[in-house]
A and B are shown apart, each in its own frame.
Chain A
Amino acid sequence: MTTEEKVIKIIKANLEKKAVIKIDTDLRKDLGLDSFAMLMIVNALEDEYGISIDDQHYQKITTVADIVKSLKSHCPNLKES
């Protein structure tokens, strides 16, 4: 599974409703996520990858691609399975 696929799977598991999610999906505009919904996803990513993402950082995240980019910068040795 690629990092992109894994991130999309994590997002889907933390949504109130089912949604179609692509790499360029805007989390707030397309999915209507509020601050707690964003926090749920960030917490799940932290748990999955064993990292800590600070508030200021995740406020800047807009799309799924932003998350993937952020993860790759947090975890340079990220392996895809």
Chain B
Amino acid sequence: MRVRDFYSNLHVDKSLTVKYDFNPYYCDIKSGLTDPLIVEGNEFINLASNNYLGLATDERVKEAIASAAHKYGSSMCGTPIATGSITTLKKLEIRLAKFVGVDDAIIFPSCFQANSALFLSLVKPDDLVVIDHYAHASLVQGVRLAGCKIKPFLHNNPEHLKKLLEKTSGYHQVFVVTESVFSTEGSIAPFDDIVKLCTEFDAIPVIDDSHGIGVLGKEGHGIMEDKNIKNFNGIYTASLGKALANVGGFVGGNKSLIEFLRYSCPGLIYSTALPPPIIAGIDKVLDILEQDFTAIGARMWEYKRLIYGCLANNGFILTPSQAPITSILVTDLDACARMAKLIHNNHILATPFVPPSVPPNENKIRLIAGANLSQETILKALEIFGRIAKELGLK
């Protein structure tokens, strides 16, 4: 009886997908992130992945991965504390730390895992975490698991944050947690102001730069470069699976923090290390960034400007995005499902966000154009969005 109840309680509400005969999630993609993308046997324009710089299918990256696979095999089949600590992993950790502007770093199998595991190791029940209202699920989960007091602050609002930091007596340690780029909004945190507040109120800043690394800054080094933050005395995390076009995540900070986590973070030391081919792939992406970021980054921002401008001119309601992300805001859930289906039927792959990923009545359809897409593909996408706007009666 208990087993039967257990399985019968595992219910997924698919009423919306049934109503519109459309499920945008777990699409059957038959190709890599090519232009065009092959979805369910059809050619699609890929505006859904986080492949900002378009390097996931870059020949140089593929060759580096293949070469490392030939040399080292598929995996070290061990945690970093055991056999996973290959020389190339150690070198990459040092390189990533230098790249983003921190002293040292450790690499996790995913940034979700890094964010979740981090707080369990560092935050205690008598601590306070002040966290941006729209922080990513991985940060929220990590903070909740730590069992500390949680105080959300209004999104990207340093004035509200300051008010909360003025009332922190009685807590042992205080952490301020945010992201650089909020991926469903495209908004960018005023992290320089947040760091100043942390200094003023003796709090530890924690920043997830997953959508900022390889994107923000003149050389693509992320939020520290973009906001000109030097001698950062906080905790930095980022994904290696977005602009850096591979998989994994890392935590950066001062040497004592990283040394502590190396020996006391269960999410790291009980998890199989990143495999050598992926390490080589990330290393090659960093080589490319050092050589070509100016040109690749310019193309990424130009595509964002074109798509954002086209949609705004065609009557779509957009979030005021500052990142190479265009987010269509659709308050009504049914209208969001209809629009998402129409976009999909026109062979554009986009990402719809509905609650609980976003607050109720703030449904979004996110578009990210990778720098690997051709100018012709972008122009075709603009033409399609013009037609969709007419069909929806937006213009």
Residues of A within 8 A of B (CB): 14, 16, 28, 32-34, 36-37, 39-40, 43, 47
* Total CB contacts across the A-B interface at under 8 A: 36
14 contacts between A and B (CB under 8 A): A14-B154, A14-B160, A28-B360, A32-B361, A33-B359, A33-B360, A34-B355, A34-B359, A34-B360, A36-B131, A36-B133, A37-B133, A37-B152, A40-B151
A16-B133, A40-B154 known; A32-B167 Cβ under 8 A: no
Asked whether B356 lies within 8 Å of A34 as measured between CB atoms, the reply is yes
CB distance from B157 to the nearest CB of A (A): 9
Asked whether A32 lies within 8 Å of B152 as measured between CB atoms, the reply is no
In this assembly, does B150 line the interface, its C-beta being within 8 Å of a C-beta of chain A? yes
Asked whether B361 lies within 8 Å of A40 as measured between CB atoms, the reply is no
How many of chain B's residues have a CB under 8 angstroms from any CB in A? 18
Which B residues are in CB contact (< 8 Å) with A43?
Answer: 151-152, 164
Which A residues are in CB contact (< 8 Å) with B361?
Answer: 32
Q: Which 4 A-B pairs have the closest CB atoms?
A: A32-B360, A32-B361, A36-B152, A34-B359
A34-B355, A47-B167 known; A16-B154 Cβ under 8 A: yes
Give A36 to B178 CA distance when docked, in angstroms.
14
Give A43 to B153 CA distance when docked, in angstroms.
10
Asked whether A37 lies within 8 Å of B151 as measured between CB atoms, the reply is no
Which B residues are in CB contact (< 8 Å) with A37?
Answer: 133, 152, 359
Which B residues are in CB contact (< 8 Å) with A14?
Answer: 154, 160
In this assembly, does B155 line the interface, its C-beta being within 8 Å of a C-beta of chain A? yes
Give A75 to B68 CA distance when docked, in angstroms.
66
Give A43 to B140 CA distance when docked, in angstroms.
17
Give A10 to B53 CA distance when docked, in angstroms.
44
Most central of A16, A39, A47 by chain B CB within 10 Å: A16
Give A58 to B19 CA distance when docked, in angstroms.
34
Among B332-390, those with CB < 8 Å from A are 355-356, 359-362
Give A32 to B155 CA distance when docked, in angstroms.
15
Asked whether A32 lies within 8 Å of B151 as measured between CB atoms, the reply is no
Residues of B within 8 A of A (CB): 131, 133, 140, 150-155, 160, 164, 167, 355-356, 359-362
Asked whether A40 lies within 8 Å of B152 as measured between CB atoms, the reply is yes
Most central of B133, B140, B150 by chain A CB within 10 Å: B133
Give A39 to B149 CA distance when docked, in angstroms.
11
Which B residues are in CB contact (< 8 Å) with A36?
Answer: 131, 133, 140, 152
Which A residues are in CB contact (< 8 Å) with B359?
Answer: 16, 32-34, 37
Give A47 to B131 CA distance when docked, in angstroms.
17
Closest to B157 in A: A16
CB distance from A47 to the nearest CB of B (A): 6
Give the contacting residue for B133; candidates A32, A40, A47; CB below 8 A: A40
CB distance from A62 to the nearest CB of B (A): 14
Most central of A32, A36, A40, A47 by chain B CB within 10 Å: A36
Closest to B356 in A: A34
Give A33 to B155 CA distance when docked, in angstroms.
13
Closest to B360 in A: A32
Asked whether A32 lies within 8 Å of B150 as measured between CB atoms, the reply is no
Closest to A13 in B: B160
Which B residues are in CB contact (< 8 Å) with A32?
Answer: 359-362
Closest to A36 in B: B152
Asked whether A39 lies within 8 Å of B360 as measured between CB atoms, the reply is no
Give A47 to B170 CA distance when docked, in angstroms.
13
Give A32 to B329 CA distance when docked, in angstroms.
15
Give A32 to B356 CA distance when docked, in angstroms.
11
CB distance from B68 to the nearest CB of A (A): 41
Closest to A47 in B: B167
Which A residues are in CB contact (< 8 Å) with B151?
Answer: 39-40, 43
Closest to B140 in A: A36
Give A54 to B160 CA distance when docked, in angstroms.
23
Closest to A38 in B: B152
Give A71 to B160 CA distance when docked, in angstroms.
23
Give A33 to B151 CA distance when docked, in angstroms.
15
CB distance from B159 to the nearest CB of A (A): 11
